[in-house]
Amino acid sequence: MLPQEIIRRKREGNELGEAEIAFMVRGLTDGSVTEGQVAAFAMAVFFRGMTLAERVALTRAMRDSGTVLRWDLPGPALDKHSSGGVGDNVSLMLAPMVAACGGYVPMISGRGLGHTGGTLDKLDSIPGYRTQPENDLFAAVVRSVGCAVIGQTADLAPADKRFYAIRDVTATVESIDLITASILSKKLAAGLGGLVLDVKCGNGAFMADFAAARGLAESLVSVSNGAGLPTRALVTDMNEPLAPAAGNAVEVAHAVDFLTGGHARPENRRIEAVTVELGAEMLVIGGLAPDLDAGRAAQREALASGRAAEIFGRMVAALGGPADFVERAGTHLGAAPHAVPILPVRAGRVAGIDTRSLGVAVIELGGGRTRASDPIDHAVGLTALAGLGAAVGPDAPLCLVHARSPGAAAAVAERIRGAYMLAEPGAPTPPPASPLLDRVDG
């Protein structure tokens, strides 16, 4: 086979065979296909698209480019994937909640991308926590604790790493076909028995349009099921931060608070709904609950009993973190020296939020990257974020900015004020909308 002929066939709109796709992925892995050829292939796919059979073949080939984990566990190996948002620390709570109900969660997560936070960056704020353990330790923690949240190792779907790096600089990242293969190749390589996807939609998501988010969810579900992994998806709202905190250490602190009773507070209504619903879906797909109502009840009991918090603490300790992290999170997490309230320009109710802008503010504080090599300040971020419908004014700030200096806080203050659209104080407040927009079954 010749790479240029495969590229030409896709450029002309032909359907590629499984062998042709496997040939291109092998070339991605061993370097025999040049960067220019990979870029041309990606652009041909971007404009011509792929059939379901092609997407399944691409996903499987990328999965098989490295190690495929095999699990021998007393219960199902389950995971979830989120397309990214602001204040989305669901993974930190969800993994131990599902483990508390009999599931095993080998969760392979990523770092921040664009304005969205990354689970690994959050976990790196825990002293000693190993986000890149050896496979033997990873497996041992999953078996003994029930969950382990780590990063992608070098031998899992290595073709995806090279392909993504080339797509990132050739304006082909947005292809749903290539996004689908990129996400699912890593999940398939993790050896899962079931997967639930959280596809975000709104001004804080990569896909602001509902139809586009629904299309991505349908592609992911159809390809994953076609590749042999039972999968469901939720489409959820990201027109405001999911949690009232955005950053790294501040989101870990929020997760500990959530697991130890904070889930019942009004400001956690949205994130509690999404986390419980994802967990219920995971329990049903893993055969651990007969239906979603039973799954929701089991997830809430895992929180109320303290079992999920206990498992989170055991996971942190098993992966090198402090043994008393849940009990003394505040003493272990780094704190920024300045917490500055950001007051609104006038009193009123929050009528709209530019959620992406809040994520950018975290990056400007040093809590994210503008280049892949940039270090992260894990202590900075935003807390007490006002949600839609909240009353704000001289005694009710938009948020607290955690910064290294008063000047750093002042530098993001106008961005934060500009991110909030206010209605008059007496304006009627619409009832809170559910963050659960749609469901896509396999």
Length of the chain, in residues = 442
- Give the other-Cβ count within 10 Å of 222's Cβ: 17
Report the distance separating Cα 129 and Cα 312, nearest Å.
12
Residues 341 and 402 sit within 8 Å (Cβ to Cβ): no
| Angle (CA) 287 278 382, round 5° | 155
Give start and end residues of each alpha helix (H) in 105-157. Answer: 119-123, 135-145
CA gap 385, 225 in Å, rounded: 38
How far is Cα 433 from Cα 283, in angstroms, rounded to an integer? Answer: 25
CA distance 124 to 316: 11
Q: Kindly report the backbone phi and psi dihedral angles of residue 68, in degrees, each rounded to the nearest multiple of 5, phi listed first.
A: -115, 115
String of DSSP letters for 148-198: EEEEPPTTSSHHHHHHHHHHHTTT-TT-HHHHHHHHHHHHHHTT-SEEEEE
Rounded to an integer, what distance in angstroms lies between the CA atom of residue 51 and that of residue 91? 31
User: Would you please indicate which residues are annotated as catalytic (active-site) residues?
Assistant: 79-82, 119, 167, 182, 186-187
Query: Measuring CA to CA, how many Å separate 419 from each of 84, 334, 361, 387?
Result: 19, 27, 10, 12
Q: Is 154 exposed, middle or buried (0-12, 13-18, 19+ CB in 10 A)?
A: exposed
Q: Cα separation of 56 and 222, whole Å?
A: 9
Q: What residues pair up with 104 in beta bridges, in sequence order? A: 77
